[in-house]
Chain A
C-alpha cells in the first residue's frame, strides 16, 4: 500500500473542470513527480490534497486513511506538509517567526527548537537572516524558507509545489540537490514541476499531466527517454 493514494480525483473551479479524474500513488520513501505545463492542474491537485480546495469526486487516502474531506488542519496533523507554489512566506514576519508558523501544530517546545536547528544546518543563510522579515529576502532565500518551514512539523510527506519557479538557474540546481538531501532524511516527496528535466532527473517515478488528466506515467528514467515526453517537455 502506498503512503498516498489518489483515486479518480476531480476538482472544479466553479464551472471549470480543473482536474478530471486523476489517479496516482506515492510510495513511502520515494520521490514522485507530477509534471505538466501551466494550467494542467498540478497545483490544483496539491491544494486539494492539503485541503485548501475541495474534491468534486474521487478519493485521497494517506497512510490508509481517507483524508478527502478533512479540513486542512487535520490533514497537516496526519503528517503532510507543503512548500506552496510561489513560496507564500509571511512577508512581515521574521524568518524565525515563519519557521515557528511551520511548527504551528507542534506543541513540544523541544521539537520546535530541534526543527529550527535542523533548518539552520540545512540552510545556513537563514540563520544569518533569522531576524529579517521574510518579505525582504531574495526569491531563492524565500524558497529555502518555504521548504524549511514545511519541514518544521516533521512531515512524513512533503509536497513541493514548483520549487524552481522564478529562480535563477544556479539556484534551481541547488533546489534539486536539496530534494535529494530531504529524501535521504527519510521524508517522502511529492514534487510538482514545470521544469520536467530537473524533476525527472531527481525523482523515482513521474506522472505527466495534461489539461487535468494523466497522459503518461512510469519510472522517471523511462519518461526521460520517452520520445513523447522529450518532444513535449524536454525540448526535443
Chain B
C-alpha cells in the first residue's frame, strides 16, 4: 500500500517538478513569479484536445505542435509585453501583474472557445502494466516519470553545461554584470520563458492524459503546487524545484491515501506557509549576498 502510494506520488511529483523547474528558471533570471506559467500548463492540453480529439491528428504531432505553440506563446509574452515593462525600468511587480493579466486572457480565451465543461483526454498510449510484488506501475506512469526525468536532465545540461545556460546563470546572479560581459540579456530572458513554457506544456499534457481530462480549474491547482514546490526547494534553485516537486507529489498522495483526499491540496498551502515563515530560502536555496 505504501509503496503503491509512493509510485503514484512519484508520478505526479515528477510533473510538479518539471513545471517548477521552468517556473524557477524564469524566477531566477528576473525574480519574477510568472503567474502565466499555470495558464501555459492548461493551454497545451487544450491544444492537444483540439488537434488530437477534434481534428483527428496523430497524438505525437498534436503533442509537439501544442508544446511548441505554448513555448512560442511564453516567448511572445516576454518579447512583446514584459520586455517593454523592463525597458521602462518599472518595478518587477508590474511584470508580475502583467503575467496575471496574460493568464486571465488565456484562461478566459480557453473557456470562450472550448466552453467551461471538462474535456476528455483519451489515453494515447494504452500500454500495459508492470508488477513489482504487489505494486502496480502503469505504462502511463512509466512514460510520465521517464519523460519528466529526461527533460529535467536536458534542462540541467542546458543550464549548467552550455553557453546559453551560463548566460542565464550570470543574469540570475548579477544582471548588469552579465550585460557588461556582452550577454544579450533580453534575448536570453525570452529564451528562458520559451523553455519554462515548454516544460509547463509537457507536464500539463501528461497530467491531463494521466487523469483522462482537462478543465480550467487546473490553473489554480497547478499554480499553488508550483509555488509550493519552488518555495520548498528554494525559489530560483533548479535542483531545489526538482526536489520540491517530488516531495509535494509524494506528500499529497500519502495524505490522500492515509488521511483523506479532501486534504490533499491543503498540503501545498501548509508547506508554503511553514517555509515562508521558518525557512524562506527553502531546502536548497541560497541566501542573497550583497557584498560592497
Contacts and interface: CB of A to CB of B under 8 A. Distances in A.
A88 B163 contact: no
Given A93-B169, A101-B170, A84 B184 contact: no
Counting contact residues on chain B (CB < 8 A from A), the size range is 20 to 34
A52 B181 contact: no
B interface: dominant SS: helix
Contacts of B286: 92
A101 B166 contact: yes
A17 interface: no
B176 interface: yes
Contact of A153 (B174, B177, B182): B182
* Most chain B CB neighbours (cut-off 10 Å) among A92, A101, A166: A101
B289 interface: yes
A65 interface: no
A82 B292 contact: no
B108 to A, nearest CB: 36
A102 to B, nearest CB: 6
B285 to A, nearest CB: 11
Contact of A135 (B170, B180, B183, B289): B289
B180 A90 contact: no
A74 B170 CA distance: 18
A interface: dominant SS: loop
Contact of A88 (B169, B174, B183, B184): B174
Interface in B151-190: 163, 166-167, 169-170, 173-174, 176-184
Contacts of A51: 179
Contact of A71 (B163, B169, B184): B184
B166 A100 contact: yes
Contact of A73 (B169, B183, B289): B183
Nearest to A139: B291
Interface of A: 50-52, 71-73, 76-77, 82, 84, 86-93, 97, 100-102, 104-105, 135, 139, 142, 149, 153, 166
